Structure 1
Amino acid sequence: LKLSNCWSLLLLDPGPRVRRMAGLFKLAAVQAETEWFDVDAGIEKAVKYIEEAGCAGQQANLIAFGECWLGGYPLYVWAGTPAFAIQFHAAFIQKASLDPDDKADAARIQRLRDAARDNKINLVMGFNLRKGGSVWIAQLMIDSTGEIRFVRRKLKPTHAERTVYAEGDGSDFVVEDVIGLGRVGGLNCWEHLQPQNKLVMFGLQEEIHVASWPAFVVYNGVAYGLSAEANMAVSKVYALEGSCYVLAATCIATKKYRAALQMVVDQLQEAHAAGLAPPVITLDMVPFDLCLTTGGGSASIYGPDGRTLVQSLDANQEEIVYAPGSKMAILACKATADPVGHYARPDVHTLRWNGRKNAAVESSAEQDARGAADGVENISGTE
């Protein structure tokens, strides 16, 4: 068989049992709008996609969601001044973020865990991670048994994102060995533009990568670097460079987003009238509709040789794209270009990665179990 014919055979789905025996798997990337400022409703919408992609539906092995999909990505930071954006922060923290250690939020995450287990599918979900008064862009991986495999944070928020989000650290580079798939990892948005990030992930022997992206609706026609075309090219190159599959999951934004922000503005104006809040900067006082358009979806899946494995969706369409994958295809591509193996030159250049988890406060004394706080690390060697 010619190589092109071998690839064509992978498009014929033989079913889950044969896929497992042959080292085949099925991948799913979501393109959809979230329920803005409503984590509970977002989870219920996510469960519907999980059910569609899972064992009773498309029988996919992995489903991926976009950046900050639960609760929503704060597009408003690109649409006005910092003073305009900060007005939404309290609502964002309270309604659009999750703390896995919080009892109520753990119950919400359990809903996703149950859905993954019941539908026998692995998932990577983009969400806003909250700890104390800080929030991070994050990804949550749950395996097909319902176990949490990782919660990772974006290493460096991009430009205006830094007015909302904190930074991750070296411990947020994670690749997990997953039965039926291989080694799975993920990055958010412009983490894919930092070559060092990619090399760390390749060094962890990543085979399947989730690239979580927001809706590409910011400064359309002006900032090409923020466009779907530019960033899907980045996703494609990641697949080719790493000899790995890439699931590029994206969000979309409709008029519902503006309506959700207007609801927050209305609440702030009521608070101001009662003397409980400062004057409000409304959506009409900033170039909101000039900065942000609608649509912005561009979900895709790329093979380890860089080829696009799915048909493009309309930018406004809510849908899941599916593609088959093969361990054989990964190995074939790595046979020609393994970026951290036979195709590397560590005698010429190497990368030093600090994988240590950082904390704002460190104590060499044993922490009282009740008094230990988030952000405090015990380095005494005792539990």
Structure 2
Amino acid sequence: MQTTYRVAAVQAEPVWLDADATTEKTIGLIEDAAAQDVALVAFPETWIPGYPLFLWLGAVAVQTPYIARYHANSPTTDGKHLTAIRRAARRTGVTVALSYSEKDHGSLYMSQTLIAADGGVHMHRRKLKPTHVERSLFGESDGSSLKVVDTPLGRLGALNCWEHLQPLSKYAMYAQYEQVHVAAWPAFGLYKGIAYALGAEANMAVTQTYALEGGCFVIAPTQVLSERGIDVFAGNDDQRALLTAGAGSARIFGPDGTPLGHQLDEHAEGFVIADVDLSLIDLAKNAADPAGHYARADATQLLHDNRPKPPVVRPGEDAGPHFPGLDEPGSGIPAD
């Protein structure tokens, strides 16, 4: 296992509602990360095809054209977009933490796939409960999506956005001895100055707390919102007033909560890059390990049911999650 290596948090704008163009941009960013000796690069929440800001801007009837376009541009696990990105990971030797809107027949999920440096898949998960109006577009997952996996880069895990406000979900991750965590966030240009809880300051504080509580490195990628992006979603002055350009807030934190790397201007696209040394985790956890020596099992315990809960169970069939192209026998990616 590699114990020292370089990681990168993406701060960039997707090509809104365009899976083909955003996939092309993703591959370019992976190649740029490889050129800077990055071993692990992490992308923001629903990076493909971009966070659905339209959900927060008006009545459902007005959203219908956006919903149709969003469905049409949401990748499937076995489709051309994931295949192209997995090929890029293999070609560059970079491990990729990709967040996207996953289309599974008639449903969408806020998903994260951890793609190995050889193009294989370490992990696939879905956001347990979409937040607020997100639930009108995305489906839910179950306890099987709270998982940490062994990789050549250590024990890696991931959560999306306000999953970092769920104390029990976080504790389930800490208890799996997570070493490097991907905290994927959208752009913070929504309701800026109106709703403090949706802003960068509050949510980066939550992310920093995750690093300190979990005693792990945390990579937090975010999206950028440009004036061109606002034009995509704002159909009138009232909607435009709810969106603010910029809002990029990518961060990386060490296992004692220390900010790492150089923060970018909120309008800039690029990477926050830092070097990880997993041996520092032992020092952090020597002081406080909330799921280890600092726990009080006699007072409080967590029940984490990690069994998948499919809507249909057929006798004789595996009841586990099934993601075409990611977990089928012989489902390696096609050659370039």
Q: In 2 relative to 1, CA 199–138 (structure 1 residues): closer, same or farther, beyond 3 Å?
A: same
2:14 counterpart residue number: 34
Quote the Cα distance in structure 2 between the aligned partners of 1:87 and 1:114.
32
8 Å CA contact 1:140–1:148 kept in 2: the answer is yes
Q: 1:163 aligns with which of 136, 141, 153?
A: 136
**Residue 331 (1) aligns with residue 282 (2):** yes
Map 1:1-383 to 2 at 5 A.
20=2, 23-54=3-34, 57-95=35-73, 97-101=74-78, 105=79, 107-179=80-152, 181-261=153-233, 283-284=235-236, 287-364=238-315
More helix by share: 1
Q: Give the superposition deviation at 1:93.
A: 0.2
- Structure 1 gaps, min length 5: 1-18, 263-282, 368-372, 375-383
Quote the Cα distance in structure 2 between the aligned partners of 1:87 and 1:49.
30
Q: In 2 relative to 1, CA 138–366 (structure 1 residues): closer, same or farther, beyond 3 Å?
A: closer
Quote the Cα distance in structure 2 between the aligned partners of 1:29 and 1:249.
5
2:120 maps to a residue whose letter is E
Structure 1 counterpart SS, 2:241: helix
Q: In 2 relative to 1, CA 159–366 (structure 1 residues): closer, same or farther, beyond 3 Å?
A: closer
Quote the Cα distance in structure 1 between the aligned partners of 2:11 and 2:258.
19
Cα displacement string for residues 32-60 of structure 1 (whole angstroms, at most 9, x for unaligned residues): 00011111111111111111111xx1111
8 Å CA contact 1:80–1:287 kept in 2: the answer is no
8 Å CA contact 2:262–2:273 kept in 1: the answer is no
Which protein has the larger Cα radius of gyration, Structure 1 or Structure 2? Answer: 1
8 Å CA contact 1:67–1:250 kept in 2: the answer is yes
2:24 maps to a residue whose letter is E
> What is the alpha-carbon root mean square deviation over aligned residues?
1.9
8 Å CA contact 1:79–1:292 kept in 2: the answer is no
- Structure 2 gaps, min length 5: 324-336
Structure 1 counterpart SS, 2:150: strand
Quote the Cα distance in structure 1 between the aligned partners of 2:15 and 2:38.
24
Structure 2 counterpart SS, 1:88: helix
1:358 maps to a residue whose letter is K
Q: In 2 relative to 1, CA 90–240 (structure 1 residues): closer, same or farther, beyond 3 Å?
A: same
Quote the Cα distance in structure 2 between the aligned partners of 1:39 and 1:366.
34
Quote the Cα distance in structure 2 between the aligned partners of 1:301 and 1:340.
23
Q: Would you identify which runs of 4 or more consecutive aligned residues in structure 1 move more than 6 Å?
A: none
Q: Give the superposition deviation at 1:173.
A: 1.2
Quote the Cα distance in structure 2 between the aligned partners of 1:366 and 1:162.
30
Structure 1 counterpart SS, 2:61: helix
1:115 maps to a residue whose letter is A
Structure 1 counterpart SS, 2:209: helix
Q: Give the superposition deviation at 1:365.
A: 5.8
Q: Give the superposition deviation at 1:328.
A: 1.2
Quote the Cα distance in structure 2 between the aligned partners of 1:74 and 1:133.
17
Q: Give the superposition deviation at 1:147.
A: 0.5
